[in-house]
Amino acid sequence: MNIAVIPARGGSKRIPRKNIKPFYGKPMIAWSIAAAQASQVFDRIIVSTDDQEIADTAQALGADVPFLRPPELSDDFTGTIDVIAHATQWALDEKLSPSAVCCIYATAPFIQYTDIQEALTSLQQNRCSYVFTATEFAAPVYRSFQQNTAGGVEMLYPEHFNTRSQDLPEVFHDAGQFYWGTPQAWLSHQPFFSGHSRLHLIPRWRVQDIDNEADWVRAEAMAAALLSRQS
């Protein structure tokens, strides 16, 4: 049995109600639920929320909300692994016996169901703890710099000042869309960024964090090109 868990806390502060705020004609969370449904790899699609309005919206979209998340897992400091571990333990308590659990973020409108399918195959074939979406940085991080306290410039990796870009190591970052994991990995709180994980690479043009209003505006500008084919 495969289970999707979509965390959707009600207390978003930087973008109020962002999980159900309309985005390109649908509540934001609708895009994640639809991708999970289209993948056809899940026996249950569960939304983990502390908010009744989000629960009602999720259920109207065809997702399950079998519990409301407890307050101690609904504050600003609760991590993703804690939330998915809670849902995984609930599934075990209900005798559902999941073989894989996928955390899908509620604010990932550019997620594609084929990525969910392919990453599940990778999890199964590689026998790893996690498989999650990632993409390469737009610029070489080894050539990055910062301002010092005097207002001057300091390289973070001065040893690479004269290194050609094509000779620098390839570096990736989390794409913030989904994480497949084994129940054991979630319950034991294994970290994502370790030798027990594998990457599912996606192109940069399908990646956009939505953490503040500027992110939202940029995502809306991207939506017409990326979502018109999925509507």
Rounded to the nearest integer, the mean pLDDT of the chain is: 95
Using DSSP, state whether 120 is helix, strand or coil.
helix
pLDDT at 225: 85
- Band of pLDDT at residue 78, cut at 50, 70 and 90: very high
Scan for tokens 């390839």, then name that residue: 170
Q: Do the Cβ atoms of 113 and 202 come closer than 8 Å?
A: no
User: Rounded distance, CA 208 to CA 143, Å?
Assistant: 23
pLDDT for 116-153, tens place per residue? 999 999 999 999 999 999 999 998 999 999 999 999 99
Find the farthest-apart pair of alpha carbons in the chain and give their distance in angstroms, rounded: 60
Inter-CA distances, 66 with 27, 30, 55, 136, Å:
20, 18, 9, 37
Tokens matching residue 96: 């559902």
User: Rounded distance, CA 204 to CA 139, Å?
Assistant: 11
pLDDT at 11: 84
pLDDT for 93-114, tens place per residue? 999 999 999 999 999 999 999 9
Closest among 120, 166, 161, 116 to 143, alpha carbons compared: 161
pLDDT at 229: 61
Residue 221 has pLDDT above 80, yes or no: yes
Alpha helices in 14-167 (DSSP H): 28-39, 52-60, 80-93, 113-126
User: Rounded distance, CA 107 to CA 104, Å?
Assistant: 9
Q: What is the pTM of this model?
A: 0.94
Scan for tokens 């079998």, then name that residue: 66
Average pLDDT over residues 78-83: 96
pLDDT for 147-193, tens place per residue? 999 999 999 999 999 999 889 999 999 999 999 999 999 999 999 99
Residues 6+ apart with CB under 8 A from 116: 35, 36, 39, 41, 102, 104, 178, 180
Q: How many CB atoms lie within 10 A of CB 220?
A: 15
User: Rounded distance, CA 90 to CA 65, Å?
Assistant: 12
- Band of pLDDT at residue 230, cut at 50, 70 and 90: low
Closest among 186, 173, 181 to 127, alpha carbons compared: 181
> Residue 10 carries which side chain, given as an amino acid letter?
G
pLDDT at 76: 85
Q: Do the Cβ atoms of 128 and 195 come closer than 8 Å?
A: no
